Amino acid sequence: MPIKVQNDLPARAILESENIFTMDEKRAMSQDIRPLQILILNLMPIKEDTETQLLRALSNTPLQVDCTFLMLSTHESKNTSASHLNKFYVTFAEIRRRKFDGMIITGAPVENLEYEEVNYWQELSTIMEWTNTHVHSTLHICWGAQAALYYHYGIPKYPREQKLSGVYRHKVLHHRLPLVRGLDDYVMVPHSRYTEVRREDVEKHPELNILIESDEAGLFLILDEKNGRVFLQGHPEYDRMTLNNEYHRDLDRGLDPALPCNYYENNDPFSHPVLSWRNVANTLYANWLNYYVYQTTNYILETDAE
């Protein structure tokens, strides 16, 4: 998939070094194609890493995708420079009248807070409500999925006894649905979280369909097809070293983290981690873009009147 990105976005050089096709703004403008307009609300602390991960995950179909990165006005990032945000991100006020084919809302390291205690919860709630009328399909990741399940359906999250960290085996439950088309019966997916949503709460809502789950890690993929909402209670977009970096970061902080499961060769935290989930990430994001965005979105995206 040709990903349209700003010419000097740092993620572009990384993707090109991986032989991933990126398209600069000038080349994209010369093509007689309407690219899919995808809005990404990046709530992760190290935003450059997440930018690269998500653009990589979106790069596996023939579709042209134009990504816009969104930041919150009510939260100040401590790990990403203001110059990077000002150059590559927009605020909600700047795009609230626009409509988008798709949107991604990422996770955030605020799981141990109640939703209403998160300092940007009100702004996030406004954005999630706005998606009902301005976004054709929204994909939510990890805490972003939990937050959206709470906001849209009142589904609570629960603290786990210890952090879930590692790569876990999951069973695909409904191969007939396009979102999981092409996946094997069992797939490996990374998780990194302290909380969870539970099957019994999701099953109270008939519009929600559980598509992938794990005996160890619980629910992973939930779909509300009617309302165009996808929920990933995990991190298929993670790159090979992400869990490793989180583990050693927590070690350096004196937190005594558990070793990520099913991740290191011979459970050696100084070995090169095994990458066992890239095909799952590529397939899921490609299926979402194709079947739930491209195939059903309007050709002409309207803008609200001033």
- Find residue 283's DSSP bridge partners: none
The neighbour count for residue 138, using CB atoms within 10 Å, is: 28
Structure tokens at 187: 């797939």
225 part of the active site: no
Question: Closest Cα to residue 215, out of 189, 246, 176, 247?
Answer: 189
Q: Are 39 and 135 in contact (CB under 8 A)?
A: yes
Among the listed residues 48, 136, 237, 261, the single catalytic one is 237
16 part of the active site: no
CA distance 212 to 69: 28
Cα distance between the two ends of the chain: 34
> For the chain, where are the alpha helices, taking DSSP H only?
10-17, 25-30, 47-57, 82-88, 92-95, 121-134, 143-153, 199-202, 242-252, 278-287
Q: Are 91 and 85 in contact (CB under 8 A)?
A: no
Strands (E), the chain: 3-4, 22-23, 36-41, 65-70, 89-90, 100-105, 135-141, 158-172, 186-196, 209-214, 218-224, 229-232
Tokens 């406004």 sit on residue: 126
Among the listed residues 142, 152, 213, 261, the single catalytic one is 142
123 part of the active site: no
Question: b vs e for 205-223, b when ≥16 Cβ sit within 10 Å of the residue's Cβ?
Answer: eeebbbbbbbeebbbbbbb
CA distance 254 to 20: 38
Show which residues are catalytic: 142, 235, 237
